[in-house]
Every structure is written in structure tokens, then in C-alpha cells.
Structure 1
Amino acid sequence: MSVRLVASWQRSQDYGVSLEAVEPSFTGTLNDESLFFECGREVLASLHQTLINEPVSLMLTDADGLVLNRMSGDTSLLRALDAVHLAPGFAYAERAVGTNGLGLAIADRAPTVVRADEHYALSLCTYTCAAVPVLDPISGHLEGCVNLTTWSTQSSNLLLALAQSAASNTSAMMLARSRGQKARVPQRGEVFRVETSRLEPGTGSLADLGPAWADVLGRAGTAIRDERIVLAVGEEGAGRATVLAQALRQAFPRDRILAASPPAPQDSEAWLGLWIPELGKPGTSILVRDVDLLPEWVAEHVRDLVVQARVRAHGGDHVPFAMTASRFDALPPALTPLVDTIVAVPPLRERTEDVLPLARLAARRARGREVTFTHAAEAALRDCGWPGNARRLVEVVTQAARRSDTIDVRHLPADVVSGASRRLTRIETFERDEIVRVLTRPGISMKEAGEELGMSRATVYRKIAHYDIHVPRTT
């Protein structure tokens, strides 16, 4: 067996899963309105047409292993899968049924094939499963997986390739149907020393940030000085790593701080080798970002080494170690016992007093000198809900600052001044952007805007309401 399979079998035993028969829980509650389900169903439906005469079942599951749908032209296979409850509405996570293809793919966030007797439960040994995780192309969060199941007597050589192709096509379709946003940069597993200039937005502007940030920073700093392991949770881009790095710097001014971002699953072993040898060394603090994205076996390895380092340091030097994640309940189970203190970093929309200080800092760094903002630009920045938090704010201001020493609302992208909550089509996005481009032109009247857009004034007003556009007046 591979290392991953051995680790999965051990977890299955620890979970108390039966070796004889599976007993997955039935929820009956399916999210069939998500973009992932919409795109995945279309991709699998197309693939199903080419495999209609093959003994293969195609499925989508959510991030918890809940089977969302199932397709197959082989009725005997479908009846057999019903007998082991591998059907819509049943959760097939590793914790529920032991080692299986889709459960292990979700646990390790990596393409997986589990053949015949590699399954933990004997009732699953007549099947071979290939599963591939699907990540949201914008956020990078795990949406679910594509799972292909066949009889164990069938050749499985192409099964994984088909699952990988379906997962890749699903992700590409999700990106195409998103609101024109850029795909997330693939995980690279960087490990670097944190210097003041390398931190996320907020560094060097502590005096300018509001009480919400100061409160989180204070609580994180107190916990770190008390030799506790801190987990910062919150939305992506809100400054989780920043607040921990600042707290570590305050607690240990002379320490080097190593920040590690999660790698692609196949690079995990090399990534561990980059920073694990530094764990527990004098004058070294470790900050691991996005631990909720780590495969289960990597999380187990990290836990064991952190525990060992703390035992070795008992009565001696402290082992400063901190982590970030989206939520505490999203952590791999292996890491939850490590957490002594949780600090929640509020999203930027709840810290409007921080928007302009962060914007000025980002502009100054991008331009190399002070940059001014018009009142209209300041109002637009403050009023924006910032679904991408500080990270998105920095991207927007950096691009604007590269164009001008004075940032006006016309230098900001359309989504900053519009609040449409639903997903726009490409045509709608183009139309909204054109309306914003025209309306942000200095001194333009509504009549002139309508003439340039080829719309009546009434239509312009209706479109403004439809896209929830708010363009502050330039003063």
C-alpha cells in the first residue's frame, strides 16, 4: 500500500469504522443550486453520453463527501451501489465509511484511485473508485469532487484520467461563468522569512488602524506571550496572517519569522522539508497559513512534529507556532488539539475605518511616493463591501496608483461602485462596466451619458438600479 492508503486505513481504524459493512449517514439535503453543481452536472452529463454502455457510475460529491448526483447506463451497477448506499443523499466521507476513493481524495485534496481490497470495508472491495477534488478557481476552496466508480474486475487504467479531465473541465467552466474574476494562483507552498516589507497590508500602519484590528492584535499577542498556539480565522484576505505576524514580531522582536503557505498536494513532502527542520530552533517563529487546505496526512505530520518540539522545549525555550484557517471547524482533525487560542479577524466590510489607511499605504508602495485620493474615490472605497477584503483593496488601489498620482473614482474598477449580489453574465458584466465607465467621467450629465450609451435617461436610471451602481460625485 502507498503511504496515503496506510494513513487512511489508520484513520479509519481510529474513527471506529466497521470492517464488514458501510453505514453512511443519510442527510437528504442537497445543494443543487451551487455553481459547482451546475457546472459539474453538465460536464458529467456530457461524459456520460460517451460512457453510456460502460459499467461506470459518474458522481459529484460536495466537500463533505455527500453524494449529489449519480449517472450510469449500467442498471446492475446502480443496484449494487444502492446496496452499499453510494447514492445521492448519503455521505461517503472517510470518517463514515473508511478508506474509499472519494473520501481519500477529499481528505488529501489530491487525485486518488482506490482499488478492490484497498478499501477499508469489505463490502466495498468489489469496486474500484477514482476521484479528483474540484477547487473553486477564484477562492481555491474545496467545492467537492468528481468520482468514477466501476467493478473491481474492470480495467481502471483510464478511470483516473477521465476523472481528472472532468474535474478540470468543471473548474474551467466555473471560471468562465464567474463574474470576470481572475483565477486563483495555484498553490506554490512558499516558505519565506517575514520582513516588515513582506507582510500583508496593515504592516507599518498600526497607529492608523481601528479598534477592531487593535483588539484582535492584542488578544493574539497576549496568547503568544503566554506560550499558546494561536489560530487566526476569518475570510480570505482579511489579514489573518498579518495580525499573527505582527503579534509574533511584537512578542519576539529579534526572532526570524518563517511563513509557510500550503503547497500543491503532490509537493507536500518537499514543502515540509523546507520549514520543519527550523521548528523549535532558538529565535525562530513559525506561521503556517491556510492549514485547512492541508491534506490529512500532512496535517498529521505537522501535529506530531509540533508536539515533539514542544515536549523537547518543556522547561526551556518557547516554540512559537501559529496558524491561519477560514474556520476552526474546517481544520483537519489532526490539528484541532494543537489550538490553544482562536482569534477571529473581522472582514474589511466590518472595519471601514481601516479602508483608507490601507489604501494610502498600498498606493504609496505602488507609486513610491504619496498619492492623493479625490473625495469621490474615498467615498467609493469606504462604501464598497470588499468581498475580497484587504487583498482585493490592495489590488484595486495598486492598479489605480500606477495610472495616476491622484486617484479618482474613474480609476477604480466597476465592481467597486456596484453591488450586484447575483452572478452576472458576460454580457451583463460588459454592460455594467460600460455604464460605470461613462458615469465616472468628470462633469458628465445623465443626458450625455444616455446619449453615449445609446439609452434613454429612463433606461440609464433603470440600469443603475438593476446593477446597484453608486457613483459618488467628484468634488
Structure 2
Amino acid sequence: MPGAPAAGPTLLAERLVASWQRSEDYGVPLDAIEPSFVGTLNDESLFFECGREVLTGLHQTLVNEPVSLMLTDADGLVLNRLSGDTALLRALDKVHLAPGFAYAERTVGTNGLGLAIADRVPTVVRAEEHYAISLCTYTCAAVPVLDPVSGRLEGCVNLTTWSAQSSELLLALAQSAASNTSALMLARSRGQRPRPAQRGEVFRVETPRLEPGSGTLSSLGPAWTDALGRAGAAIGAGRIVAAVGEEGTGRATLLAQALRQELPRERILAASPPAPQDSEAWIGLWTPELGKPDTGILVRDVDRLPAWVAEHIRDLVLQARVRSTPDEHLPFCVTASSFDAIPAALAPLVGTVVSVPPLRERPEDVMPLAHHAASRVRGRGVTITRSAETALRGCGWPGNARQLIEVVTQAARRTDTLDVRHLPADVLSGSSHRLTRIEAFERDEIVRVITRPGISMQEAAEELGMSRATVYRKLAQYDIHVPRSQS
């Protein structure tokens, strides 16, 4: 590898060597920067709104410093750039580190923001650590920003300065800006709770015990049945299967059901990705099981894996295939948001892609899943009134089956007869725009009052301190639909 930095004992050095190798494999030239120009920027996202606000505030304190502050999206596309140093800005223009240009590792080689996105950890790339010679004039510190609710990678905060400048505080500033961006996103995301930190759970399951997908419904509508059949056929043929779709649709559940149907005597090991800094220990927990007889492997959310982890898993899968006999299969499945999101190292291994439709496209599955969730909570069947059923069927379920099961589980813990008044306000509201905290509180209060059994609209208006006309206007504003209570 020409001119690559020597691999030292630190993880950072290992990451740099891996990044240099990928850059060479991508065919990135050493002497020229040719980032792709996209031009079209998504400047309406919550991430961009909050990140721009945070960086604008930070820029005001660094206006006289030779530092450029940038936001990029998850593909390395530079969204904006702030700096008070005109000489630095002119120099960055020459290497196209500017809004509209994509600075991913694949196009310009090892660089701070590209490596931070690839490995999903805070990263500093200094001077000669860059792959391209024309970038050795700079030092870059970049920190990924994850959506605090969904956990999805939104992009990164990147701070760039001259390589001759001290970079000791650069990463700390980038980490602070990324953290503040994530916190601001949470505060403005309709009051939703943050996604729990990734724990890298690994479950080894013996046949008689609970396993991934155990106790779930396989007898659902035609869309689910068709996807389950295609996954099972591919597993039976020895192909690696990727289940793709929106979060919460049941991708891992579908694969676990397919594995159990095709390989009833095998144990299933399911692994969820850890926080990036815990990846090395996580790999050591489950990869020794890969390729063992009578063991099926299911890796969730591979689109959240750092690039080097995906490469390591690929190598282990290929080695396991070499060791296996022609009549042996390697039961290995993955989930991701889409095939395009699967890391480049793993995508060529996938033999079959099964799309799991969102729940809004499977309305026939809503009530079977609701009754199943309620019965699991109470250990017996729970009555769901016709008005509650109408509300459940009418909801768009942006969180898919996971959201439905959580809503019904919480309601079934409080009542033997689940009625519309036991459902949260967002199930009854079709409002698609982001609500402020005050708006969300107002909507929830309106729903709480008008779902009370026997209350008239006039009584509801008096309790809310509004006129009837205002209540009707608010119902339209929040797109609230409350079916009449009836059992």
C-alpha cells in the first residue's frame, strides 16, 4: 500500500490502515481530489435545522480562529460551512471541501468526516494521515450525529483547520457540537423519548427455550406470509438472506421464524450492534459460533455497523464457507433499512433480499397483532371495543408493529376492556407536522377530554375552556379522529 501510515498498537492506527486499504480498493487517486458534486441539499431536516443553529452559535465564539465548521449528511455530503478565516475558506474551495460536494471515503479517501461516518465514532485525521496528498495541509475532527429517537445516522459535525495549528481541542469542540445538536433534536422531536444506547446484545438460544421470534404470530396476512415463504425458501437453499424495511416492521422476527421453520433443530444466535467503541468485544462474543453445526446466526441492523466491523464479519463468513462441505449450509441472515444501506463489505454476500412491508401497508395484520399483544400481557384474551378497533385500524403506525405492540401492551396493563380512551393521543391524531411541546400538550388534553365516555362536545368545550367552534377547529388542526365509544 503506497505511503500508508504504519500500523501502531492503537485502535486509531488500525482504523487508519483499514481506511487507507479501502481507499486504495476504491481506486481513489493519491494526487488529486475529485469529490462528486451533488448540489441538491436537504436543508429542511430536523438535523440540519438543529445542527446549523448549534454551529452558528459556536462560530460566533470562534470567528477569529482559523477553523471551518461544517455539517454533512450520512453520505458525507457537505451541507453548510462557516468560518471567519477567508484564507482557509479559499484553500478549502480548491480541494472542494464545500457545500454540495460529497466527501465520503469512497470518493476522496481517508479523511476525518469520511472515516467518522464509516466507523461511526469520533475521529481526528491529521496532516499526513490523509490518503490524498492535497489534504495533508489540514487537520479534521469529525463526530457522527445519531437521531436521538430512531438511532439513525443523520450525518456528522466536522471541524477543519490548518495542519500546523494545534488540534488538541478540535475533537472536544466537535463532540460538544454533536452532542448539543442531538439534544436539540430531541427537544424538538415532539417530546419523544431518546432511543436507549446500543448495548450490543448477543443471545444464544437453545431449541426448547425462548428465541428470537418466539411467541410471535406467523399466521398473518398475505404480505407477511409471502415474505416469510421467500425467506424460508432462500434459507433452505443455503443463501444468505437480508430482510429490509422500516424499523419496527418485524424484520428480525420474520427471519427468526423462517430459520426455525427451515431448521427446526438448530439453535439461533441473534446479535444487535453495539456502540461503536464496544465493537471489538462484541465481535468476540458471537463470531466463534459462526459456521458451527446446528447454529443459525441473525445479525440485526448491519447498516449501523462500522465499516471495519462489516469487513471483519465478511472475512469470517467467507472463511466459514471455505471450511464447510458442499452439502453444508451456512445459516446467516441480516437486517437493514434497505439493501443500499448494507455495508459494501457485506452486500455481495447477500443472496436474497426480502422486503418487509410497513404495517400501514398490511392493515389486515393490525388486529391479530393487537389481540396477540394484549393476550401476552394478561395471559388471556382481552376485549377490544369496536371504537378502539376503528382507531387502531385507522392509525398510520409510523413506528410499525413495534409501536402497535407497545401501545396495546401499555393499554392492556390498565384494563380488561380496551377502549379508545385507553389509547395515546398520537394514535388518534393524523397530524404529520412536528408539534411543539405546547401543541402536543394541547392535543393530548383535547383527546383526554373528548374520549371520556358519555361526554358531549359542549361539555368537552366547557372543560377545555374553549368554544365548541374552537374545539372543532382544533380537531381539524391536529387531524384528531375519535370513533364513538361502543363495545
TM-score category of the 2 structures, normalised to the smaller one:
over 0.9
- Larger mean Cα displacement after TM superposition, 95-104 or 187-196: 187-196
Inter-partner Cα distance in structure 2 for 1:205 and 1:74: 61
1:102 alignment partner, one of 110, 113, 121: 113
Partner of 1:435: 446
Partner of 1:205: 217
Partner of 2:432: 421
Inter-partner Cα distance in structure 2 for 1:415 and 1:242: 25
Inter-partner Cα distance in structure 1 for 2:23 and 2:123: 16
Inter-partner Cα distance in structure 1 for 2:196 and 2:323: 38
Partner of 1:239: 250
Q: Secondary structure at the match of 2:259?
A: helix
TM-score normalised per structure 1: 0.98
- 1:299-358 Cα offsets, whole Å, 9 max, x none, are 000111101101111324211000000000011111111000000001111111111111
Inter-partner Cα distance in structure 1 for 2:485 and 2:291: 55
Partner of 1:254: 265
Partner of 2:356: 345
The answer to whether the 8 Å contact 2:307/2:343 transfers is yes
Q: How does 1:313-392 map to 2 (within 5 A)?
A: 313-392=324-403
Inter-partner Cα distance in structure 2 for 1:420 and 1:204: 31
Partner of 2:289: 278
TM-score normalised per structure 2: 0.95
The runs of at least 4 consecutive aligned structure 1 residues that moved more than 6 Å come to none
Inter-partner Cα distance in structure 1 for 2:339 and 2:84: 41
The answer to whether the 8 Å contact 2:243/2:353 transfers is yes
Inter-partner Cα distance in structure 2 for 1:7 and 1:463: 56
> Are 1:73 and 2:92 counterparts?
no
The answer to whether the 8 Å contact 1:57/1:149 transfers is yes
Inter-partner Cα distance in structure 1 for 2:41 and 2:447: 38
Task: Identify unmatched segments of 5+ residues in structure 1.
Answer: none
> Are 1:409 and 2:420 counterparts?
yes
Partner of 1:290: 301
- 1:104-126 Cα offsets, whole Å, 9 max, x none, are 00111111000000000000001
Residue 74 of structure 1, CA deviation: 1.0
Partner of 2:3: none
Q: Secondary structure at the match of 2:47?
A: helix
Inter-partner Cα distance in structure 2 for 1:186 and 1:94: 26
- 1:266-312 Cα offsets, whole Å, 9 max, x none, are 00111100110000111100000000111110000011110110111
Q: Secondary structure at the match of 1:169?
A: helix
- 1:130-189 Cα offsets, whole Å, 9 max, x none, are 000001111111110000001111111111111011001000000000012111111111
Residue 398 of structure 1, CA deviation: 1.1
Task: Identify unmatched segments of 5+ residues in structure 2.
Answer: 1-6, 8-12
Q: Secondary structure at the match of 1:216?
A: helix
Residue 370 of structure 1, CA deviation: 2.2
Q: How does 1:442-461 map to 2 (within 5 A)?
A: 442-461=453-472
Partner of 2:42: 31
Partner of 1:221: 232
Inter-partner Cα distance in structure 2 for 1:13 and 1:197: 45
